Structure 1
Amino acid sequence: MGKANAKKGRSLWWVVHSWIGLKLSIFLTFILATGTLAVFAHEIDWLVTPAMRVSPRTEPVASWGALAYAVTRAAPEARLQTLYAPIDPWFAAEAWVSHGKGAPERVYVDPWTAEVTGQHGWANVHRFLRQVHRHLMLPTKIGIPLVSSLALLLTVSLISGIVTYKKWWRGFFRAPRAGDTRRLTGDLHRLIGVWSLWFVALIALTGVWYLVETLGGSAPVPEMPRTAANAPPVGARLDSLVALARRSDQQLDIREIRFTQEHGVIFLGQSSAWLVRDRANGVAVDPVTQRVIARLDGRDLTIHQRISEMADPLHFGTFGGLWTKVIWFLFGAALTAMAVTGTMIYATRLAKAAPIDESGWQLAWRGMGIWAYIGIALIFVALALTPGAIGGAS
């Protein structure tokens, strides 16, 4: 009786696993694929945008003040908003400047010579992949819950996959069997699945957290003291503020400078706290009085705030630089392949059992029912909204 109940339970879990994998395969594959590409979105932009490419040098880099001065000379009518350090040595520094209306403009500067290498509009590959993966170009109150809800289904799929794969821990080194398409795809699906268990769990957990945040559970953001509006400091004035920020936090590796009209100049980056976004560590300076008005230390975060700051680095694998991004990309590609092979398994099974002369893919499409049209419709809506969405404000 116990064995019968266990078999019945596994059968039920298999139905759930198959339903998620088939009905939502188109939409799930799209979200997984765009998320995987988003890991290397900056690198893709680097490939297609010549102004982002520089040649690494051995001499010291130019100062932040020199970079900011070069930006203001290249865009004298615009207001400097943000200045970013290069992502890697072969990347240019990037600045965002505002013309008062519409989206910011990007200005790229060689970090060694402080020469502007080019200017670019707001829309780019990173912007497209970020927004289409995060909320399908829809209003965030609609799009983020819609996409993040897939994390719940991914969690159920993870559990059901473990339950239905008997003695799954033996599958890590079980080579796929050739000779039969259905058997081969099934073996590949299980092999990728067991090696990706940790990754699926990680993506599911961070996805659930994004859902919690958008439903009202976001962590409180630290408040900054207000200062009088002032023109963004550049050149030697900015360099003196950089020195002040570094004296305030000697461990701070400045990765971003925000020139705000209400809270002074804010220096953000990585410091003593590990596995947090750059915004978790920072020093705010009043450019008029040249005094530190606020300190941000990732070690002082509450548990709630720490979870919030950890989510992005863990979801996209950016916390360890290029090497962790490579790992995240490979496992993201594997997860996308699992969504495809799951549909292939269903298609080949149907084709083998079908009494009529109809391909397995036709039968699989029919099996998806209305969910296939919903998935395709969401993708087309996202693509249709792209021109306006990625050209809008940040």
Structure 2
Amino acid sequence: MTRKFRNQLFRLHTWIGLFLSAFFTFMFLTGTLLVAGFEIESIGRPEIWTTLQEDERTASFGQIYDGIKSAHPEGKAFVILKHPKSWLVDRTFGHTGWGERVSYWTDPATGTVVYETGDPGFSTILAGLHDTFLIDNRFVFILISAMSIPLLFQMVSGLITYRRFWKGFFRWPSSAGGFRMWAGGAHRLTALWAAPLVFLIAITSFFFLLGGLGIEGGKLKFQPTAPREAALPDGFDGTVINAAEAKARAALPGFHPVTLTLPGGKAGSLKFIGQHEDFSHFRGETTVAVDPLTLEVLDIYTPADFRGLARVNLLMEMLHYGTWGGPFSMALWIVLGLVATGLAFTGSLIYAARLAPPSQAEGSFKRVWRGMGFVRWIYLLLLMGILAVVYWRVNPDAYVPSRVHPVDANGAVAQLVLHEPLRRDTLIEIELRIGAPDVSAALVEVNGTTAQSVDLARDGDKALGRFRFEPLESGNEVIAYLKKPDGTEQKVTFRMGNPIW
């Protein structure tokens, strides 16, 4: 390789590094923290940690579901994860009775609820920052994932321009030649040690880019279930779930489900997901769909049924998130992630040292800031936007409105909308949203008290009203009486259940 080409490649490497080093530093740091983000978040939650061995985690999906319904009768479960990690109890994603997102944590041996966590938490915010800067926009996700291309170029060009790089794995940076020489030595050393991780991150991020562009491979298609009146049929409980699991296991011997997704609509099925003994852990997961009404096995999909990029989706996720080897790989990814963060940061220091002599009064940060030109204003605007979104997501007044559907009528008739979270001993105002036509008046009975009139205002085809609500330790029932001009009345009952926090 000619010296001229090598020099041109090096100049391009430094130019890209100048503008993207801050971005890569942020991404490597947040990604590293995410590997153990939930563990960091849960340091003060001893209830969700466990030392039970695999053979002691005997709670079935049915026991877990019944345990949640026993503790929170009005709550809903959507995804049950048995053995999310060996050191955590079982986790179920769901909603509270008043519609707020929640995770129910249950004992792996008995299925009883031991703790509840709300959303968003530290790990959720961190994941949002890492994926889309909390903007939750597909275009932003594609743009961030596309940075895998310059990241891969930076690693390849860096190794090409670092002659005989294989001799530098144990070459500690020297400060004898000043700050610039030390920064260069530290950059080369961290690059060599972080190279395996950075290459994998670049490749897996490019894979996620293809997914964001819609190139995902074949998607699983599930047969429709028998017609029913609700998402879950009458009498649905843990016994039904256990019977459905037995059907799934009998239909596919060697299948070991660890995840259950419950239907959210009238046409959804119970989907048991897990490993099959005929397929490697890295090949992907097997899914067996069962009709919750008839308990008929509808579909069986093994990793052999995946097509295109879907064949390697699970492998890409495990490599990117560091879960391929359990605690060992997570610890390794954290260490290498910190090294990669140092790699991106020292790249900025090298540029600062080249831009002006170390003896100059201007600091390294100012040199880098001045050298980035107009790009620095993009970074500044991005930082201000991120801080604003973070504040909006985590400040005490931030709350995504939740909805409560009636237990004895269709949700189109009326709904309760909570613009504030339901909390113990906290008076809130609830909105009554009426979709039933021609309702001219409404009375609201709160927790058995005398019914009070609600002033209604029109919003298109809907009528809106508000009333004050102070939650009790249990119950929290609201009965709305919807009156029409012809004197007819419809009773609609809402149950929000016990406050958790």
In the aligned structure 1, how far is the partner of 2:125 from the partner of 2:136? 14
Going from structure 1 to structure 2, the CA distance change for 1:17 and 1:101 (only over 3 Å counts) comes to farther
Going from structure 1 to structure 2, the CA distance change for 1:122 and 1:336 (only over 3 Å counts) comes to same
TM-aligned CA deviation for residue 144 of structure 1: 0.4
In the aligned structure 1, how far is the partner of 2:315 from the partner of 2:213? 18
Q: Find 2:370's aligned residue among 363, 366, 380.
A: 366
Tell whether 2:208 aligns with 1:210: yes
TM-aligned CA deviation for residue 218 of structure 1: 2.2
Q: How does 1:124-163 map to 2 (within 5 A)?
A: 124-163=121-160
Task: Provide the residue aligned with 1:45 in structure 2.
Answer: 41
Task: Provide the residue aligned with 2:334 in structure 1.
Answer: 329
In the aligned structure 2, how far is the partner of 1:103 from the partner of 1:220? 33
In the aligned structure 2, how far is the partner of 1:97 from the partner of 1:336? 35
Tell whether 2:310 aligns with 1:297: no
TM-aligned CA deviation for residue 267 of structure 1: 0.8
Write the deviation string for residues 215-258 of structure 1: whole angstroms up to 9, x where unpaired: 23122311111214442743222222222222233333322110
1:276–1:306 CA contact under 8 A, matched in 2: no
2:216–2:308 CA contact under 8 A, matched in 1: no
Give the secondary-structure state (helix, strand or coil) at the position aligned to 1:80: strand
Tell whether 2:279 aligns with 1:273: yes
Give the secondary-structure state (helix, strand or coil) at the position aligned to 2:219: coil
Write the deviation string for residues 38-77 of structure 1: whole angstroms up to 9, x where unpaired: 1112322332444422453674522221111011122211
In the aligned structure 1, how far is the partner of 2:251 from the partner of 2:380? 52
In the aligned structure 2, how far is the partner of 1:382 from the partner of 1:253? 42
State which drifts further: 296-305 or 256-265.
296-305
TM-aligned CA deviation for residue 157 of structure 1: 0.6
In the aligned structure 1, how far is the partner of 2:47 from the partner of 2:283? 26
In the aligned structure 2, how far is the partner of 1:255 from the partner of 1:375? 43
Task: Provide the residue aligned with 2:253 in structure 1.
Answer: 250
Going from structure 1 to structure 2, the CA distance change for 1:103 and 1:275 (only over 3 Å counts) comes to farther
TM-aligned CA deviation for residue 84 of structure 1: 1.0
Give the secondary-structure state (helix, strand or coil) at the position aligned to 1:47: coil
Going from structure 1 to structure 2, the CA distance change for 1:60 and 1:100 (only over 3 Å counts) comes to closer
Q: Find 1:29's aligned residue among 22, 25, 32.
A: 25
TM-aligned CA deviation for residue 367 of structure 1: 0.7
In the aligned structure 2, how far is the partner of 1:303 from the partner of 1:219? 4
Give the secondary-structure state (helix, strand or coil) at the position aligned to 1:339: helix
Tell whether 2:352 aligns with 1:347: yes
State which drifts further: 366-375 or 201-210.
366-375
TM-aligned CA deviation for residue 360 of structure 1: 3.1
1:70–1:116 CA contact under 8 A, matched in 2: yes
In the aligned structure 2, how far is the partner of 1:101 from the partner of 1:88? 29
In the aligned structure 2, how far is the partner of 1:231 from the partner of 1:9? 66
TM-aligned CA deviation for residue 326 of structure 1: 1.3
Going from structure 1 to structure 2, the CA distance change for 1:215 and 1:101 (only over 3 Å counts) comes to farther
In the aligned structure 2, how far is the partner of 1:372 from the partner of 1:324? 36
Tell whether 2:80 aligns with 1:79: no
State which drifts further: 24-33 or 176-185.
176-185
Q: Find 2:113's aligned residue among 103, 113, 116.
A: 116
* Greater RCO (Cα-Cα under 8 Å, separation 6 or more): 1
Going from structure 1 to structure 2, the CA distance change for 1:24 and 1:318 (only over 3 Å counts) comes to same
State which drifts further: 122-131 or 329-338.
122-131
1:136–1:379 CA contact under 8 A, matched in 2: no
Q: Find 2:12's aligned residue among 7, 12, 16.
A: 16
In the aligned structure 1, how far is the partner of 2:42 from the partner of 2:363? 42
State which drifts further: 382-391 or 75-84.
382-391
In the aligned structure 1, how far is the partner of 2:5 from the partner of 2:57? 64
Going from structure 1 to structure 2, the CA distance change for 1:125 and 1:382 (only over 3 Å counts) comes to same
In the aligned structure 2, how far is the partner of 1:147 from the partner of 1:365? 22
In the aligned structure 1, how far is the partner of 2:232 from the partner of 2:330? 37
Write the deviation string for residues 68-99 of structure 1: whole angstroms up to 9, x where unpaired: 10111222112221111132343121112235
2:80–2:92 CA contact under 8 A, matched in 1: yes
Give the secondary-structure state (helix, strand or coil) at the position aligned to 2:217: coil
2:275–2:281 CA contact under 8 A, matched in 1: no
Could you tell me which amino acid in structure 2 is paired with residue 13 of structure 1? L
Tell whether 2:238 aligns with 1:235: yes
In the aligned structure 1, how far is the partner of 2:374 from the partner of 2:80? 47
Going from structure 1 to structure 2, the CA distance change for 1:130 and 1:392 (only over 3 Å counts) comes to farther
TM-aligned CA deviation for residue 149 of structure 1: 1.8
Tell whether 2:218 aligns with 1:220: yes
TM-aligned CA deviation for residue 340 of structure 1: 0.6
The size of the alignment, in residue pairs, is: 387
1:26–1:372 CA contact under 8 A, matched in 2: no
In the aligned structure 2, how far is the partner of 1:47 from the partner of 1:121? 15
Write the deviation string for residues 279-333 of structure 1: whole angstroms up to 9, x where unpaired: x421111122212111121133224211333321111121221111111222111
Greater Cα radius of gyration, structure 1 or 2: 2
In the aligned structure 2, how far is the partner of 1:60 from the partner of 1:312? 26
Q: By percentage of residues, which structure has more helix?
A: 1
In the aligned structure 2, how far is the partner of 1:374 from the partner of 1:74? 49
TM-score by length of 2: 0.71
TM-aligned CA deviation for residue 274 of structure 1: 3.2
Could you tell me which amino acid in structure 2 is paired with residue 384 of structure 1? A
2:89–2:106 CA contact under 8 A, matched in 1: yes
TM-aligned CA deviation for residue 209 of structure 1: 1.6
Going from structure 1 to structure 2, the CA distance change for 1:225 and 1:338 (only over 3 Å counts) comes to same
Going from structure 1 to structure 2, the CA distance change for 1:160 and 1:256 (only over 3 Å counts) comes to same
In the aligned structure 1, how far is the partner of 2:57 from the partner of 2:309? 39
In the aligned structure 2, how far is the partner of 1:367 from the partner of 1:277? 47
